[in-house]
Amino acid sequence: MNEVKEKGKLAKEVSYTLANVSTEEKNDALLKISEQLLKDKKLLIAENQRDIIHGKAKGYLENILDRMLLNEKRIEDMAAAIKQLVELQDPIGQTIEMIEKENGLKIEKKKVPLGVIGMIYEARPNVTVDAATLALKTSNCVILRGSSSAIHSNKALVQTIHRALEKTSIPVNAVQLIEDTSRETAKELFHLNEYLDVLIPRGGKALIQTVVNESTVPVLETGAGNCHLYIDKTAKKEMAIQIALNAKIQRPSVCNAIETILIHDDWFKQYGIELLEALTLQGVEIYGDERVVQTYSEVVLATDEDWYAEYLALKVSVKIVSSTEEAIKHIHQYGTKHSEAIITEDNKQAQIFLNTVDAAAVYHNASTRFTDGFEFGYGAEIGISTQKLHARGPMGLEALTSSKYFIYGSGQVRQ
- Contact between 376 and a second copy by CB under 8 A: the answer reads yes
- Cβ 257 to a second copy shortest distance, Å: 10
- Give the count of beta carbons closer than 10 Å to the beta carbon of residue 348: 9
User: Which of 208, 362, 380, 395: binder of a second copy (CB under 8 A)?
Assistant: 362
- Kindly state whether residue 389 participates in binding a second copy, applying the rule CB under 8 A: yes
Question: By C-beta, is 16 or 290 nearer to a second copy?
Answer: 16
Q: Could you say whether residue 402 binds a second copy (CB under 8 A)?
A: yes
Judged by CB under 8 A, does residue 197 bind a second copy?
yes
Among 361, 380, 382, 395, binds a second copy (CB under 8 A): 361
281 near a second copy, rule: CB under 8 A: no
- Alpha carbons 356 and 330: distance in angstroms, whole number: 12
Asked whether the CA dihedral 337, 374, 395, 156 is positive or negative, the reply is positive
Task: Give yes or no for a contact between 400 and 117, defined as CB atoms under 8 angstroms apart.
Answer: yes
Q: Does 220 bind a second copy (CB under 8 A)?
A: yes
Query: Is residue 413 part of the contact set for a second copy (CB under 8 A)?
Result: yes
d(CA 196, CA 215): 11
Among 185, 295, 323, 356, binds a second copy (CB under 8 A): 356
Contacting range for a second copy; rule: CB under 8 A; set: 73-81, 222-230, 238-246, 315-323: 238-246
Q: Confirm if 139 and 111 have CB atoms less than 8 A apart.
A: no
Cα separation of 326 and 362, whole Å? 17
Q: Judged by CB under 8 A, does residue 53 bind a second copy?
A: no
Asked if 239 is part of the footprint of a second copy (rule: CB under 8 A), the reply reads yes
The binding track of 248-277 with respect to a second copy, each residue x by CB under 8 A or -, is --x---------------------------
- Which of 115, 171, 288, 373 contacts a second copy by CB under 8 A? 115
User: Given the rule CB under 8 A, which of 53-61, 177-185, 285-293, 366-374 is the region that contacts a second copy?
Assistant: 366-374
Of these, 354, 374, 382, 386, which contacts a second copy (CB under 8 A)? 354
Task: State yes or no: residue 212 binds a second copy (CB under 8 A).
Answer: yes
Distance in angstroms (rounded) separating the CA atoms of residues 1 and 9: 10
- At residue 327, what is the residue type? A
- Taking residue 19's Cβ as centre, other Cβ atoms within 10 Å add up to 14
333 phi and psi angles, rounded to 5 deg: -75, -40
Beta strands per DSSP E along 123-197: 141-145, 175-177
- Min dist. Cβ of residue 220 to a second copy (A): 7
405-411-415 Cα angle (round to 5): 85
| Residue 301, helix vs strand vs coil | strand
Q: Say if residues 219 and 198 touch (Cβ distance below 8 Å).
A: yes
CB 362 within 8 Å of CB 103: no
Give, for 73, the enclosing helix (H) or strand (E). helix 72-87
To a second copy, the closest distance from the beta carbon of 203 in angstroms equals: 19
Residues 74-113 that bind a second copy (CB under 8 A): 99, 101, 105, 107, 109
User: In whole angstroms, what is the distance from residue 232 CA to residue 116 CA?
Assistant: 46
Residues that bind a second copy in the complex, under the rule CB under 8 A: 15-17, 19-20, 99, 101, 105, 107, 109, 114-115, 193, 197-198, 212-213, 216, 218-220, 236, 238-239, 242-243, 245-247, 250, 328, 332, 354-356, 358-367, 369-371, 375-377, 387-390, 392-393, 402-414
